[in-house]
Homo-oligomer: A and B are copies of this chain.
Amino acid sequence: MPCLSAEQLGKLAIRDEDELSADLIEAQFQLREGRGSIKGKSVLILISGIELAGKGEAVQQLREWVDPRYLMVKAEVPHPLTQSQPFWQPYAGFIPAEGQMKLLFGNWYSDLLATAMHVSEPINTEQFKDYVQNMREFELDLQANHVHVVKIWFDLSWKALQKRLDKLDPSVQKWQQLHGLDWRSQKQYDTLQKLRSHFTDDWICIDGEDEERRDQQFAQVVLSALKQPLSEITPDAITGPWKKSKIPETLTQFDDEVLAEDDYKDQLKALSKKVAKAMRQDERNVVIVFEGMDAAGKGGAIKRIIKKLDPREYDIYTIGAPEKYELRRPYLWRFWTKLPKNGDITIFDRSWYGRVLVERLEGFAKPFEWKRAYDEINRFEQDLMDNQTVLIKFWLAIDKDEQEKRFKAREVTPHKRFKITDEDWRNREKWDEYLQAAADMFEHTSTDCAPWHIVATNDKNSARIAVLEHILERLKASK
């Protein structure tokens, strides 16, 4: 792992403590002030390293120099990487909001190291490297979304470690067990260092032997992270003209076949039972996403999916404009906390695809933001699917005339009045742009494991049946 070289870190002169402290406090203030502006970012510091290298002491010293109220520190117990959830999921709650600085002792790397060192079937080197790569990509996505990630490894030589173990005060042993490792075993020490060598080269390595130098280096690294402009941490923007995808015929051509009411009822009854049974028997999480034009019948389709389920077996989330506190975090963040666990079912009525639909068309996401969102979303979905989740995505397609008919019907039906607003009529004016955005979305996010199902909904009955059939088929196929 190519750390900042000893030379480079060595160049950091020991600074006057009061001046360093004043600079840190000023930088903290600037970070908070930048909130909501184009300079707005947050800082996430991941800490790992050899036991007794002085992680805790360095952070303690940092907290004396900064305003401690604005440095949040979290120490989680390790979460072994078991493929029951993506590595980032336990940490979703700790991702800092714009203007915040957070420091994580326990983090996805300590989980990875703990998993590699501990579990009965340890992961092999290739898997380890895959995880590291995956983590790096996740961090780049964080950075593109204004979360500046800094990773610091506190190192200590074998000899220095043994010396410190000799001198150990038994009253501070509380933290020795952090990785539950035997630090007297050179073999274990070497294994850990070997694993660590597979880390990506954006880690900063601080030697823990000289305590004053260690604390100074750490504080100065943090200071430079606080001060680094957002533009410098953001991955390269995607530039060049945007290549529009062809609009699929299924979005614009509809046949007029209608499923008769009696046939519909029979099919619905049988299918909704089958779907409930299949979802219940499937031990994986099921995530179902609905997108589509207004009035295309998302609500009605959802009602039929849950018909034979117990209300304790599923969650439904209706996704609207993000709240202010959600806007201060990566746009995917508000979905990280809504994902199912333990084989449950979660239905999203609109979803993260808002990034490349409404946010793109209304200008809430800048071009370089929505352009890179396709890949971000693919990575996010891949992480879910790699961790025991079936993802089923629907686009409910409707004819422009049929939409107008439904809008007008809503306006005169008392309990449907609220379903139609001026905004719906405004969105309708951008019909063609929405079709184009949908086409681009299919092109870039319809993957083998998570294809888009485009369902024509001019006839509501056959649309609902088609949705249920697709779910059944996907549950079977992806086993």
Contacts and interface: CB of A to CB of B under 8 A. Distances in A.
A56 to B, nearest CB: 5
Contact of A312 (B56, B307, B309, B349): B56
A387 B127 CA distance: 44
A240 interface: no
Given A302-B69, A310-B175, A415 B64 contact: no
A67 B323 contact: no
A311 interface: yes
A349 B299 contact: no
Interface in A144-195: 171, 174-175
A315 B280 contact: no
B414 A22 contact: yes
Nearest to A172: B310
Contact of A315 (B25, B72, B415): B72
Contacts of A171: 277
Contacts of A175: 310, 312
Contacts of A75: 311-312
Interface string A88-115: 0000000000000001010000000000
Contacts of A73: 311-312, 315
B318 A70 contact: yes
A318 B324 CA distance: 19
A107 to B, nearest CB: 13
B22 A316 contact: no
B415 A311 contact: no
A212 to B, nearest CB: 18
Contacts of A414: 22, 26
Contacts of A476: none
A334 to B, nearest CB: 11
Given A25-B415, A174-B280, A325-B323, A311 B63 contact: yes
B22 A60 contact: no
Contacts of A29: 415, 417-418
Given A67-B299, A69-B302, A324-B324, A105 B312 contact: yes
B316 A60 contact: no
A59 interface: yes
A211 to B, nearest CB: 15
Contacts of A280: 174
B311 A59 contact: yes
Interface in A381-428: 414-418
Interface of A: 21-23, 25-26, 29, 33, 56, 59-60, 63-64, 67-70, 72-73, 75, 103, 105, 171, 174-175, 277, 280, 299, 302-303, 306-307, 309-312, 315-318, 323-325, 349, 414-418
Per CB-CB distance, the 9 closest pairs between chain A and chain B, nearest first, are A75-B312, A22-B415, A29-B418, A69-B318, A25-B415, A59-B311, A73-B311, A56-B310, A26-B415
